[in-house]
Amino acid sequence: MDSYNTFQVAQKQVLEAVEILNLNQATRDLLIWPQREFKFTLPVRMDDGSVRVFHAWRIQYNTARGPAKGGIRFYPDERSDTIRALACWMTCKTALLDLPLGGGKGGIACNPREMSERELERLSRAYIRATAPYLGIDKDVPAPDMYTNPQIMAWMLDEFETITQRHHPGMITDKPLQIGGTEGRRDATARGGVISVREACNTFGIQPDTFAIQGFGNAGQRAALLHREMLGGGKLVGVCDSRGGIYNPDGFNVKELVTYKLTHGTVKDFPGSKAIDRDAVLELDVDVLYPAAMENAITQENAARIKARIICELANGPTTPEADQIMNANGLHVIPDILASAGGVTVSYFEMVQDSYKYFWEEHEVHESLDKKLTKAYHTMIEAMREKKVHPRMAATVVAMARVAEACELRGWV
């Protein structure tokens, strides 16, 4: 099996979990494949009058526990197998956090950096025209993902409501506050990750004095700020993004670094920093490492050189199965993506609830509810890890798959 095919990685994780659970063959066959897959070609008129055809997908992996939930990515190299894997992991996230949701994912193969705002709006609306029959608060609820944002969600919501001629604010999440979004969504992914780091530090007696972040987009920037705020300090000594890496053993001024990134589009050449290779950030001698970029960043080639005592996966699928085994054998504690990055979908669920009864919570209420959910899920994973004698990712996957399998069985599917 090719470890670098993202969907094969996800399938391998699920298969190992269902074997530990000793599930029957029909349940195994059901859980390793998506329930529904949709492929679309979207013709979009560009600003120069030409028409380009974009390839797009929406995959609903499993809906036994509730409507599918998952983001929409705008990414040049988007592939169906990547979306399948992400939809699988979303199914695991919602089950692990015990949300009444299933898992899904969508994407369009495009380069948003080369498109104007008007072209992005046309593309966003075209996607909803294609997918509208399969979306809705009781069917499948999208959200932003890589290179999409609340404005794109607003266009998509408007197109859906134009088609249905009804208000459906809960059909999409991470919208602007003015049209049904929720407080606390912007930093939810990072906040959930830092909560899980806090619980790991308390569980294993680790002091999170130094940390590094691979990937400095929204999740990475907010993790940098929240790590210091929620964990009582800590020095950010290494950071990288797609254009380079930087290092300072004395630590960066996080607020200045975030401002620099937002102004210059990169952390490269930040004043007072030493330039290092992007991949070298992963191997810094720190207490906590946040992989917050792309899939398959930590592999069997570099896993043995990872020194961080806690690895908090804010990205989806940053670690291959072989790397998991190596880091576990070396005594490192990996907080898997299906837990560490589940803050986003958890607060998206809160947004759906608020949209349904048209009453919105204060930000501190969202933070408190998120903290309770993440804390409970973390310790459920630890209990499974100790009971099954497996590494954290497998423990989390076992908990999630047991819940999904139970729902499938209760429905009479298997």
Q: Does 379 fall in a domain? A: no
Q: Confirm whether 334 is domain-assigned.
A: yes
CATH number at residue 120: 3.40.50.10860
Residue 386 lies in a domain: no
Helix (H, G, I), strand (E, B) or coil at 79: coil
Q: What is the pLDDT of residue 294?
A: 79
The answer to whether residue 105 sits within a structural domain is yes
Final residue in a domain of this structure, among 340, 375, 405: 340
Q: Computed over its alpha carbons, how large is the radius of gyration of the chain?
A: 20
What is the per-residue pLDDT for 4? 67
Which of 307, 340, 373 is the last residue in one of the domains?
340
Annotate 109-163 with DSSP letters as a single string. E--GGGS-HHHHHHHHHHHHHHHGGG-BTTTEEEEE-TT--HHHHHHHHHHHHHH
CATH number at residue 314: 3.40.50.720
CA–CA separation, 202 and 198 (whole Å)? 6
Where among 340, 372, 388 does a domain terminate?
A: 340
pLDDT in tens for each of the 414 residues of the chain? Answer: 344 688 998 999 999 999 999 999 999 999 999 999 999 999 999 999 999 999 999 999 999 999 999 999 999 999 999 999 999 999 999 999 999 999 999 999 999 999 999 999 999 999 999 999 999 999 999 999 989 999 999 999 999 999 999 999 999 999 999 999 999 998 999 999 999 999 999 999 999 999 999 999 989 999 999 999 999 889 999 999 989 999 999 999 999 999 999 999 999 999 999 999 999 999 999 999 999 987 788 999 999 999 999 999 999 889 988 899 999 999 999 999 999 999 999 999 999 999 999 999 999 999 999 999 999 999 999 999 999 999 999 999 999 999 999 999 999 999
Instruction: State the amino acid at position 224 in one-letter form.
Output: A
Neighbours of 367 (CB within 10 A): 18
Domain match, 163 and 284 both: no
Instruction: Supply the range of the domain harboring residue 98.
Output: 35-170
Residue 295 has a pLDDT of 79
- Examine residue 400 and state whether it is found in any structural domain, yes or no: no
pLDDT of residue 8: 92
55 phi, psi to nearest 5 deg: -95, 135
Residues that are catalytic: 105
**Does residue 385 lie within any of the structural domains?**
no
The pLDDT of residue 397 is 97
> Structural domain tally of the chain?
2
160 and 216 in a single domain? The answer is no
Same domain for 143 and 260? no
What are the CA-CA distances from residue 122 to residues 12, 140, 353, 390 (Å)? 38, 22, 29, 47
Residues 166 and 202 in one domain: no
What is the rounded CA–CA span in Å between residue 42 and residue 367?
A: 38
Q: Which pLDDT value is given to residue 320? A: 87
Does residue 377 sit within a domain? Answer: no
